Amino acid sequence: MDGSTREINCDLVTDDCRRCRSADTRSTRNLAPRGARGVARALLGGRTRRALRAPHGASMTTIGTTQNTPAAKPTTPPGYRLGDPTLARSPVTLDELDLLRGTLLMGDDDLVHLRLAGEVVRDQIEDILDVWYGFVGANPHLVRYFSNLSDGKPNAEYLARVRARFGQWIVDTTNARYDQAWLDYQHEVGLRHRKPGKNATDGVASVPHIPLRYVLAFVMPLSATMTPFLAKKGHPPETVAKMRDAWTKAVLLTAILWSEPYVKDGEF
């Protein structure tokens, strides 16, 4: 383990990382639903791999990169704006965010296990995205939100650009500081799932709005499919379960925040 991961300040990470590094991750691809990888590749025309960067330039920026290695100089996907000071401020306050986290029973132990989950999955992100894109690709009622208005066909470039930000989101979610910058970007991403914000970042002419019901329902596949990846590095089942719980809470928290722009004024 390099020095950077120690800065996460998590004993579990330090201890378990040795196992993480020696584990074989190749067979994870077999976890994709039957035919899903083919669909994903057909949609994308091959995978895009990008260096993933955690935000804010401090110790936690090292997840997914190796410090002091020029080749690992971080890049961010096009359209990614976490930490951009010109973003609109979230209508949700930090105090309200704290209350929300408390309501989700998200405690310090969850944060420890969320950080550990980030370490465990950081070399599996493309495999995870294969599974999620496979799920979307296998469901016409979902893939239509990536389709061209003109011909109804999936827009491969749109899929690829969003995929890169989706990978970054996994890193950011396991690494979240729940500060103002993070909160503001949740507001932005919520706006990007509905009209008029959808499609603008990538300049595409696609379906203009994703119904809130699917955004909320999507928490389940994003949570359930994570378990095999979290178990991949040989952690005890109870640790895997804690990582899964922490991940589920973190995804649910983002989906709740992303629902704010959908809700009538004053009713969020």
Indicate the residue among 13 and 77 with the shorter CB distance to ligand HEM: 77
Residue 194 as a binder of ligand HEM (CB under 6 A): the answer is: no
Binding ligand HEM by CB under 6 A: which of 51, 87, 219, 231? 219
Name the one range near ligand HEM by CB under 6 A: 3-11, 45-53, 115-123, 214-222.
214-222
Which H or E element spans position 13? helix 11-22
Instruction: Return d(Cα 262, Cα 21) in angstroms, integer.
Output: 42
Residues 122-151 touching ligand HEM, rule: CB under 6 A, are 136, 142, 145-146
Q: Single out the residue of 167, 164, 145 nearest to residue 155, CA to CA.
A: 145
Residue 198 as a binder of ligand HEM (CB under 6 A): the answer is: yes
Binding ligand HEM by CB under 6 A: which of 78, 84, 195, 214? 214
Residue 90 as a binder of ligand HEM (CB under 6 A): the answer is: no
Residue 114 as a binder of ligand HEM (CB under 6 A): the answer is: no
Q: Single out the residue of 209, 210, 230 nearest to residue 218, CA to CA.
A: 210
Residue 251 as a binder of ligand HEM (CB under 6 A): the answer is: yes
- The strand pairing partners of 154, in sequence order, are 147
**Encoded tokens for 164:** 């890169």
Indicate the residue among 85 and 237 with the shorter CB distance to ligand HEM: 85
Query: Per residue, what are the HEC states of 135-201?
Result: HHHCCHHHHHHHEECCCCCECHHHHHHHHHHHHHHHHHHHCCCCCHHHHHHHHHHHHHCCCCCCCCC
Site for ligand HEM, rule CB under 6 A:
79-80, 136, 142, 145-146, 162, 165-166, 169, 189, 192-193, 198-199, 201-202, 210, 214-215, 218-219, 222, 251, 254-255
